[in-house]
Structure 1
């Protein structure tokens, strides 16, 4: 007899795709200082990392253990600079791309830029040719994506992208976000 909202009397492991992992809500770059099986080992290492000046280091739990990371890196250039500084302190940092989960909304993508000023220029140009409301968000591997949110369906987003290509945005596409 089912109980507690379960489909059977005996509880079972979650069957969601991210049952052991972490759902990411923001895309961007992550500087990974180290990976550990045990939380205590990650805590000890994070103390070492923060003691050497990388005060924004955090511990992120994943399916395979714990990572000591710094997040919020806007551009690949900034990530490479951080990696270089970390290596001077003896840390073998890797840069990894974080992809946010899909939320099921169709967006129109106008283009991508390496940095915020470049992306802002795309958004300003879009507004000047009849595409107001373009926004910026982090690309998974650094840089920025310029987008317009909230089309009713794929057809509407594709029609918009075609119009944008006709107005000088050759990289415009429809994307399910």
Structure 2
């Protein structure tokens, strides 16, 4: 018999592969049971509801995703290089053959309207990412508003890469980020005058 931690790990690994690969609503607990090799009774002892399993899948994915991004970006020597490294990391992620977009956007789209907890996990993930970008912008001595602009570029690239099945949006977003970094803040934040 599997010990608690081994059984939990197997269930979460199976759930991640299935939920991310097929979508949360398309996958039942029986599919997770089958893929994990953990009995249905034991599965429900570990996760009394599918929603609890989905939430833990999202929490673990968030921690892993944020850590992988930071490991890649923080290795760059200058603050500006760290900002553009975000988009290089996104390109690597988009190039993975199993890339299906953002698990948080996908889960929010499927369950956000009916599960406040799933919606909150998605918001938490996005806020953490945006806060990370804000830290990079501050470390580079750039105006705080740049962080929101970079976040929109990254989020757009994440969605576009999934829809079109190509990593190229990461390079396009990186080029746009470089333009923003080169544009004086007074020009970038100016509002167009009305005619």
TM superposition score normalised by structure 1: 0.28
Larger radius of gyration: 1
| Bigger relative CO (Cα 8 Å, ≥ 6 apart) | 1
TM superposition score normalised by structure 2: 0.26
Structure 1 or 2: more helix by fraction: 2
Structure 1 or 2: more strand by fraction: 1
